Chains A and B, each alone.
Chain A
Amino acid sequence: MSLTTDEVKQIAHLARLGIDEKDIDTYASDLSNMLKLMTQMGETNTDTIQPMAHPMDQAQRLRSDITEEINQREHFQSIAPQVEAGLYLVPKVLD
């Protein structure tokens, strides 16, 4: 199993991750090696095994429906790259 440079570009786009053109081959080869490592799992039969998502076999705890948060807009927006009129600003979104 190995990844082509096109596949690397495609997943980089899915992940919105800019990568240098010159590094793509390295990523392709690194990822291919990782995949090779991962295919080792295929040697073990797991047909009857339930996937394990969590170490703890517990159910989700539930929170009461109470509003406890206060308005901290100024505080939270003091670390934002660009805000105006209480809004976070981003380049134009086209629908």
Chain B
Amino acid sequence: MYNKTITEQGKDLRAGKYSSVELTQTYLDRIKKHAGLNCFITVTEEFALKSAQAADKLLTTGNASLLTGIPVAQKDIFCTQGIKTSCGSKMLDNFSAPYNATVIENFNQSGAVMLGKLNMDEFAMGSSNETSFYGAVQNPWDTKTVPGGSSGGSASAVAARLTSAATGTDTGGSIRQPASLCGITGLKPTYGRVSRYGMIAFASSLDQGGPMAKSAEDAAILMQTMAGFDPKDSTSVDQAVPDYSADLNTPLAGLKIGIPKEFFSEDLNSDIASTIETAINEYKKMGAEIKQVSLPNMKLAIPAYYVIASAECSANLSRFDGVRYGYRCDNPGDLNDLYTRSRGEAFGQEVKRRILMGTYALSAGYYDAYYIKAQKVRRLISEDFTRALSEVDVLMGPVSPTTAFEQGAKTGDPIEMYLADIYTIAINLAGLPAMSIPAGFVEHKPVGLQIIGNYFTESRLLNIAHQYQQVTDWHQQTPKGFE
């Protein structure tokens, strides 16, 4: 039952084939069995079983939603009331959130069952899930390799079938890249589509929560619950939420796909390039037109992103000062000592590096050269996308220049790690929606296809992804040992 889609599990639950408690217990058992993957920071077993019981009651009354009784795991970046919310950091190891994120409230409303909180790069800063205070997460396709990051726990857990689905957040590729590396389906929505309230901020103008699931069909169901206007988030967009499942079966004849030539530079592994080309050919067969387009400023996305994200995070993480919550050093001598040691002892290296970078970029004398410059470049990049998307419906390309790499391979060189985000971060700068869907394997490791749409076209992206998943079975494959 754990291999089935949410739609199938929902049908089974309603038909009484098995109960939500049974389904939940199955996943809880798998989580224990595969604890070595290190996907979970917290397993909320008792809470999950209680919710499952409540869901089973709800299922009999007929007031159930598509997610009622479905076990879902949450990235540990979303605040969950009364439950540890660590953000992958020692800083919040003792932090039991006093309130629920809007996304969590939405899931609770839908009757979904929360299995626990998923491992992640510390404060979502990382592309390999190796910066977590709770240790690295393994990729089930090859446990020596990384699952990607920062939503590495989410991707690995979905791939290993430890949960029906999961949430992730994407600041520079943190949903799409791990989805790609773990062979699952991930959607980063349009900036402003999913509330950021209660989602611990990394870079506020880039962060966006989204679903990570086994299929586009499942992602659509999760999106239905996650998306929506939130008056508590000033950047939330007040726009009606469409029925994300309604258009899944719309035929793709006449679809115009743009292929940005910058996505196929020499940095791209040639086997991945041909895998992506094969996938695009599949779309051609379904009646899509393919067109070459260009995003001339894309090469500037990495520098611009690392200035903006670092600057925003340097301020966002100032609240962790050992005064009101979180880690506090022992016996602080004075105020400065309290700040410096609490932060110094509880933040990991990558987080410190970004805080230092951001502090420097914002400091007197450098602000214009770095921060303002990066914001100008951001506009150029955004305009590139606007231009390209006026010619075509969607853009397609790879998600990551490589497949899952070995643990430790890039930890010594932060720049090399940053370059792994080359195909994803420009999309965050522009605030566009994008997906990663499984499109094949290179040396038994999954490869993801990226589909980028115009603002608020999540329905169309899900439709395009779903149609591909009707004619391929990459998304149904499970790693050996996890079938």
Q: Does chain A touch chain B in the assembled complex, meaning CB atoms less than 8 Å apart?
A: yes
Hey, what's the 0/1 contact readout for A38-62 against B, CB within 8 Å counting as 1? 1111101010011111111010110
Which residue on A lies nearest to B431, using beta carbons? A55
What is the CA–CA distance of A44 and B345 in the complex, to the nearest angstrom? Answer: 40
Residue interface mask A19-30, B partner, CB < 8 A = 1: 100010001001
Determine how close the nearest CB of chain B comes to the CB of A47; give it in whole angstroms: 9
Which chain A positions have C-beta within 8 A of B5? none
Contact of B98 among A30, A49, A72 (CB under 8 A): A72
Indicate if B376 sits at the interface (CB-CB under 8 A). yes
Chain B nearest CB from A79 CB (Å) reads 5
| Chain A hits for B344, CB < 8 A | 17-19
Interchain pairs with CB closer than 8 A, number = 160
Question: How far is it, in angstroms, between the C-alpha of A40 and the C-alpha of B361 when the chains are bound?
Answer: 15
- Considering only residues 287-338 of chain B, those with a C-beta below 8 Å from chain A are 297, 299-300, 302-304, 306-307, 314, 318, 321-326, 328, 332-338
Partner of B322, one of A12, A38, A75, A81: A81
* B375 CB within 8 Å of chain A: yes
Closest chain A residue to B354, Cβ basis:
A34
Given contacts A55-B191, A55-B382, contact A80 B324 (CB under 8 A): yes
The answer, yes or no, to whether B133 is at the interface (CB within 8 Å) is: no
B360 proximity list for chain A (CB < 8 A) = 3, 7, 11, 31, 35
Contacts of A53 in B (CB 8 A): 205, 375
Contact between chains at B359 and A11 (CB < 8 Å): yes
Which B residues are CB-close (under 8 A) to A51? 372, 375-376, 378-379
Q: Is B78 close to A, CB under 8 A?
A: no
B380 at the interface (CB under 8 A from A): yes
Q: Are B192 and A56 in contact (CB under 8 A)?
A: yes
A78 vs B165: C-alpha distance when bound (angstroms): 32
- Kindly identify which residue among B299, B333, B340, B375 contacts A52, using a CB–CB cutoff of 8 Å: B375
Bound Cα distance A81, B327 (Å): 8
Q: Which residue of chain B has the shortest Cβ distance to A52 in the bound complex?
A: B379
Residue from the list A8, A18, A76 in contact with B340, Cβ < 8 A: A18
Chain A positions 80 through 95: 1 when the CB is less than 8 Å from some CB of chain B, otherwise 0 = 1110000010111100
> How far, in whole Å, are A34 and B357 apart by their CA atoms in the complex?
8
| Contact between chains at A88 and B356 (CB < 8 Å) | no
Q: How far is the CA of A28 from the CA of B334 in the complex (A)?
A: 27
Binds A, one of B231-239, B247-255, B396-404: B231-239
Q: Does B224 contact A (CB under 8 A)?
A: no
Are B205 and A90 touching (Cβ within 8 A)? no
From A15, A81, A82, B356 is in contact (CB under 8 Å) with A15
CA distance A79 to B91 in the complex (A): 13
Min CB–CB distance B307 → chain A (angstroms) = 6
Are A40 and B303 in contact, CB atoms less than 8 angstroms apart?
A: yes
Expressed in whole angstroms, the Cα–Cα distance for A15 and B338 within the complex equals: 13
Asked if B430 lies at the interface with its beta carbon under 8 angstroms from chain A, I say yes
Q: Is the CB of A31 within 8 A of B307?
A: no
- In the bound complex, residues from chain A placing their C-beta under 8 Å from that of B205 are 53-55
Task: Find chain B residues with CB under 8 A from A8 CB.
Answer: 356
Contact check, B376 vs A46: say whether CB atoms are below 8 A apart.
yes
Bound: A51/B380 CA distance, A: 9
Flag whether B347 is at the interface (Cβ < 8 A).
yes
Q: Are A79 and B98 in contact (CB under 8 A)?
A: yes
| Contact among B96, B340, B382 for A16, CB-based, below 8 A | B340
Interface pair A44/B300, CB less than 8 Å apart: yes
Cα separation A13 to B359 with both chains bound (whole Å):
10
Instruction: Indicate if B264 sits at the interface (CB-CB under 8 A).
Output: no
Let me know if B460 is at the binding interface, CB within 8 A: no
CB pair B335 A90 closer than 8 Å: yes
- With an 8 A cutoff between CB atoms, is B11 at the interface? no
Known: A52-B376, A79-B95. Is A17-B414 also a contact (CB below 8 A)? no
Distance, CA A56 to CA B235, complexed state (A): 8
Residue A70 is within 8 A (CB to CB) of chain B in the complex: no
Residue in contact with A38 in the complex, picked from B307, B337, B339, B356, CB distance below 8 Å = B307
A75 near B98: Cβ-Cβ < 8 Å:
yes
Q: How far is the CB of A84 from chain B (nearest CB, A)?
A: 13
Cβ of B363 < 8 Å from any Cβ of A? Answer: yes
Answer yes or no: B373 CB below 8 A from chain A CBs: yes
| A39-B2 Cα distance, complex, nearest whole Å | 49
Give chain B interface residues in 367-403, CB to chain A under 8 Å: 369-370, 372-380, 382
CB-CB under 8 A from A52, the residues of chain B are 375-376, 378-379, 382
Known A16-B343, A39-B303; further 4 A-B contacts with Cβ < 8 A: A19-B352, A23-B349, A46-B377, A56-B191
The 5 closest A-B pairs by CB, nearest first: A18-B344, A55-B431, A51-B375, A16-B339, A46-B376
Query: Can you name 22 A-B pairs with beta carbons within 8 Å?
Result: A3-B360, A11-B363, A16-B318, A16-B321, A16-B339, A17-B344, A18-B344, A30-B353, A34-B357, A37-B415, A40-B299, A40-B303, A41-B307, A42-B369, A49-B379, A51-B376, A53-B375, A56-B235, A78-B98, A79-B98, A80-B325, A88-B323
